[in-house]
Amino acid sequence: MCEKRIEKAALSVDGVSKADWSEETKMIEVTLDDSKTDVHEIQKAIAKVGHETEKHKAANEVYKELPECCLYEQF
C-alpha cells in the first residue's frame, strides 16, 4: 500500500517519469527532468500524502489516515 501511494505521489509531479520505492530500504529512486522539477518538489508531494521525507513533515491529520501497515516512526 505504501509503495503505490509514494510512487503515485512522486509521479504526480510534472517532470517525474519514473518512481520506484523500495520497502526494504525505505528509499525512492526517481527519474526526473531537472528543468521541470527537483527533489524538493517530489518530497513535498510525498509528504502531502502522509509520508515524511528528510525535508518535509507530513500533516498529522493526513498521517493519521494512513493504513496501519503504513504507519512509521515520525521524524
Q: Are 46 and 27 in contact (CB under 8 A)?
A: no
- pTM, full prediction: 0.89
Beta bridge partners of 42: none
**Considering Cα of 30, then 33, then 35, then 41, what sign does the dihedral take?**
negative
Architecture label for domain 2-70: 2-Layer Sandwich (3.30)
Q: Domain spans of the chain? A: 2-70
Give pLDDT tens digits for 34-55. Answer: 999 999 999 999 999 999 999 9
* 41: phi then psi, degrees, rounded to nearest 5: -65, -35
Residue 73 reports pLDDT greater than 70: no
State pLDDT tens for residues 19-33. 999 989 989 999 999
